[in-house]
């Protein structure tokens, strides 16, 4: 365990107040970053907080598309990232041109896209969705003949099975979640036979098939709290285990695979948060035309969920 740097934490708190800033951290962030955050959450929760906060500055500890989403929802606020090189490889697997071509191939379709996409891709979408509400969004489109669902092929497969809808998908995936293999779950289950298996829908379909429940990161937190089970195998990025343990000190959590670490989520450190607050950068902004279109897709999602 790294010793807490009290002086650094004190400086961050002081500067945060002075700047009228709020620190948002995704559930996969390093423990030291989660510890200084005002709010921790999954993609949907963080978008909602970003849309509501009165703070002037949002320090976003997560990956680039998440900070972009915050800026889309709160353009009057300054959204800064402690490390803008923290991207999401899945989001980078499809660009706006790819989506335009796919839409041209399926002119009757409605386009639904995971929040793990760039602002330019979101601007081409009819609906955005997150892992929390993907099934609800697709279910709300009963009257639509064809549905494009991008960019994650595993999330698309899961949503298609749950909704009974055939979806036109893309070949994107999360390089971190695909590291979790069915053998990992079987091995962990052998050692912990009473443990409930929770997995994220970005996992391989063969992994999803072995799960007791398929949930977003914050939904996993709620499930672990409400479920009488004392042990849980966690099939997502291993950073979530820190939060799960903190929130449920009487329960045990085993990462499905120690290999499931998102290097981009680990780029943010306390030092970088302090520098970001000192210099009020790097700012993440989305041009007005893209922002207005992308916002529509996000608002349609928020209206459904
Ligand atoms: P959540 O919305 O479940 O937090 O997931 C975001 C993400 O990037 C998962 O890899
Ligand atoms: Fe992207 Fe996967 Fe990292 Fe989530 S865990 S931010 S989907 S690369």
Cα(91) to ligand 2 centroid in Å equals 8
Residue 305: pLDDT band with limits 50, 70, 90: confident
57 token code pair: 């500055």
Cα(65) to ligand 2 centroid in Å equals 10
Q: What is the mean pLDDT of residues 139-159?
A: 97
CATH topology for 3-87+265-285 is: Rossmann fold (3.40.50)
Tens-digit pLDDT profile for residues 159-197: 999 999 999 999 999 999 999 999 999 999 999 999 999
Decide: 116 in ligand 1 pocket, CB within 6 A.
yes
CA 256/CA 178 separation, integer angstroms: 12
Q: Hey, where are the domains in the chain?
A: 3-87+265-285, 91-173, 177-255
Domains 3-87+265-285 and 177-255 share a fold: yes
Tens-digit pLDDT profile for residues 119-132: 999 999 999 999 99
Q: Which residues neighbour 170 within 8 Å (Cβ) at sequence distance 6 or greater?
A: 93, 94, 98, 102, 150, 151, 152, 153, 156
Decide: 130 in ligand 1 pocket, CB within 6 A.
yes
Q: What percent of the chain has pLDDT over 90?
A: 96
Q: Which residues neighbour 89 within 8 Å (Cβ) at sequence distance 6 or greater?
A: 174, 175, 264
* CA angle centred on 67, ends 61 and 68, rounded to 5°: 170
The CATH code that applies to domain 177-255 is 3.40.50.10800
Say what the pTM is: 0.96
Taking all residues of the chain, what is their mean pLDDT, rounded to a whole number?
96
Contact present, 37 and 24 (Cβ < 8 Å): yes
CA 211/CA 15 separation, integer angstroms: 44
Q: What is the dihedral of CA 185, 189, 194, 198, to 10 degrees?
A: 0
Residue 10: pLDDT band with limits 50, 70, 90: very high
pLDDT of 211 > 70? The answer is: yes
CA 102/CA 269 separation, integer angstroms: 38
Decide: 214 in ligand 1 pocket, CB within 6 A.
no
Q: Atom 3 (ligand 1): residue with closest C-alpha?
A: 216
Residue 229's pLDDT is: 98
Cα(6) to ligand 2 centroid in Å equals 30
Phi first, then psi: give them for residue 197, nearest 5 degrees.
-100, 115
288 token code pair: 């007005």
Mutate to test the pocket of ligand 1, among 24, 43, 68, 136 (most ligand atoms within 8 A of CB): 43
State the architecture of 91-173 in CATH terms. Answer: 3-Layer(aba) Sandwich (3.40)
């Amino acid at each position: 365990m790294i010793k807490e740097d009290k002086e650094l934490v004190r400086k961050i708190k002081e500067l945060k107040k002075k700047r009228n800033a709020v620190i948002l951290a995704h559930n996969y962030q390093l423990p030291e970053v989660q510890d200084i955050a005002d709010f921790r959450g999954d993609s949907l929760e963080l978008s909602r907080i970003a849309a509501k906060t009165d703070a002037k500055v949002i320090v976003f500890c997560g990956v680039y598309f998440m900070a972009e989403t915050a800026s889309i929802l709160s353009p009057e606020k300054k959204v800064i990232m402690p490390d803008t090189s923290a991207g999401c490889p899945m989001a980078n697997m499809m660009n706006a041109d790819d989506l335009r071509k796919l839409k041209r191939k399926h002119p009757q379709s409605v386009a639904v896209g995971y929040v793990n996409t760039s602002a330019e891709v979101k601007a081409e979408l009819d609906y955005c969705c997150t892992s929390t509400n993907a099934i609800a969004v697709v279910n709300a489109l009963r009257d639509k003949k064809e549905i494009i669902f991008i960019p994650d092929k595993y999330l698309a497969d899961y949503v298609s099975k749950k909704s009974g809808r055939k979806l036109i998908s893309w070949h994107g995936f999360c390089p971190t979640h695909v590291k979790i293999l069915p053998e990992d779950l079987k091995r962990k289950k052998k050692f912990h036979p009473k443990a409930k298996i929770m997995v994220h829908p970005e996992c391989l379909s063969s992994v999803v098939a072995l799960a007791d429940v398929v949930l977003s990161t914050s939904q996993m937190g709620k499930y672990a709290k409400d479920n009488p089970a004392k042990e849980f195998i966690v099939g997502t990025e291993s950073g979530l285990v820190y939060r799960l343990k903190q929130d449920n000190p009487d329960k045990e959590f085993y990462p499905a695979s120690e290999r499931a670490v998102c290097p981009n989520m680990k780029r943010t450190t306390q030092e970088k948060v302090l520098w970001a607050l000192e210099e009020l950068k790097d700012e993440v902004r989305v041009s007005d035309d893209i922002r207005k279109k992308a916002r529509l897709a996000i608002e349609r999602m928020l209206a459904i969920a």
